[in-house]
Amino acid sequence: MSAASPEARNGILSVADLVVKFPVAGGGLFSKLSFVHAVDGVSLSVSRGTSFGIVGESGSGKSTTAQAIMRLVGVTDGRIVLDGDDVTGLQGKALQKVRRKLQIVFQDPFSALDPRRRAGDLIREPLDLLQIGSAREREERVKALLGEVGLQPQAADLFPHQFSGGQRQRLCIARALAPEPDLIVCDEAVSALDVAIQAQILNLLKKLQRKRGLTYIFISHDLGVVQNFCDEIAVMYLGKIVEQGASSDIFGKPAHPYTWSLIAAACPPGELRDSLKTKYLVRGDPPSPVDPKPGCRFAQRCPYAIDECKREHPALSTLEHGHKAACIRIGDIPAPTFL
């Protein structure tokens, strides 16, 4: 048996051809069943100890991808391999065992916390469910976790409504840390917070990553946050990855017109953004994800689309150094000049 490559040894998560479809009721008894293609053939690999970002508009499939990785929604097709183990079809106790390695921090810290339970009980909950340690060890663990996320030990006796939004998110992070996972999914984990608190939470996440060797999958629509936080980024549009690469490549030399549009839209209001509107900012809403038409999903809104784009779906092709993009016109259209 040959030795594994450094990439394989360092990889903690591998997702291959992931598909998540939801049925849509038809118009009549004999009408054809339609499906929402929420995630359609997503493949990605995440290295241990890194932060992998997934960005895109609302409805792009980024959160559904995260929830499928967490096994919170059903997987229609594809494989999810966590630390060498195929977790795609796990159920019951086998899936519960995986929860020790894989945790999630949701967008809204208030709705993620049971308002009727005290903070200490909420943090201890995964330890109780997974039967980790003795009762005394769990209590000590709760106190240590509160300190690790920047809260006082007496916070254990308070209810969620007695905390600020940033403090509630710290509680959610402490709860995610409780079973000592290897990978944490942050699903829009800072988008509900104001800018100053966002910075504090992001700094905390980075500090925990350095201390514990954590791996993050970071879902966000905020390109500025993702650029500074993530090592690698996947750009999603209507259920598919259209570009993927190191953060420096995505923001330094983006290759897909949709990525150009996202970066242009993220520019602050002013002369630069005004000058980009006609060239890079797309208009209109994405097409329906129900039984999508053949061809490139972005062709309907892309200012550079040609007839071939509407007939053939482009493969995610490697450009250089692991940088990938799905566009048949790469090299034919001028690269952006605003970076």
- What string of H, E and C letters represents the secondary structure of 226-295? HHHHCCEEEEEECCEEEEEEEHHHHHHCCCCHHHHHHHHHHCCCCHHHHHHHCCCCCCCCCCCCECCCCC
**Cα 77 from Cα 85, distance rounded (Å):** 17
Which pLDDT tens digit goes with each residue over 300-332?
Answer: 888 888 999 999 889 999 988 889 999 999 888
- CA triple 148-150-153, angle to 5 deg: 80
At residue 14, φ and ψ (nearest 5 deg) are -130, 125
**pLDDT of 2 higher than 50:** no
Share of the chain above pLDDT 70, in %: 91
**Cα 159 from Cα 157, distance rounded (Å):** 7
Give the strand pairing for 51-55 and 232-237: parallel
102, 70 Cβ separation under 8 angstroms: yes
Which pLDDT tens digit goes with each residue over 99-116?
Answer: 889 999 998 888 889 999
**pLDDT of 242 higher than 90:** yes
Q: Give the pLDDT mean for 82-91.
A: 92
**pLDDT of 252 higher than 70:** yes
- CA triple 115-116-120, angle to 5 deg: 85
CATH superfamily of 6-101+181-325: P-loop containing nucleotide triphosphate hydrolases (3.40.50.300)
Report CA-CA distances (Å) from 102 to 48, 112, 315: 13, 17, 30
Which pLDDT tens digit goes with each residue over 262-282?
Answer: 888 877 777 666 666 666 767
**Cα 254 from Cα 249, distance rounded (Å):** 6
**Cα 150 from Cα 22, distance rounded (Å):** 40
**Cα 209 from Cα 17, distance rounded (Å):** 28
Output DSSP code: residue 50.
-
Which residue has better confidence, 5 or 28? 28
Q: Give the pLDDT mean for 167-171.
A: 95
**Cα 38 from Cα 21, distance rounded (Å):** 6
Query: Alpha helices, DSSP H only, in the chain?
Result: 6-10, 62-69, 92-98, 119-129, 135-148, 165-177, 195-212, 223-229, 247-252, 257-266, 271-277, 307-311
Report CA-CA distances (Å) from 22 to 33, 235, 311: 10, 22, 25
**Model pLDDT, residue 3:** 38
**Model pLDDT, residue 93:** 87
Q: Provide the CA 72 distance to its chain's centre, in angstroms.
A: 14
257, 279 Cβ separation under 8 angstroms: no
Q: Give the pLDDT mean for 42-48.
A: 96
**Cα 254 from Cα 319, distance rounded (Å):** 11
* Adjacent-strand bridge partners of 301: none
* Adjacent-strand bridge partners of 244: 234, 324
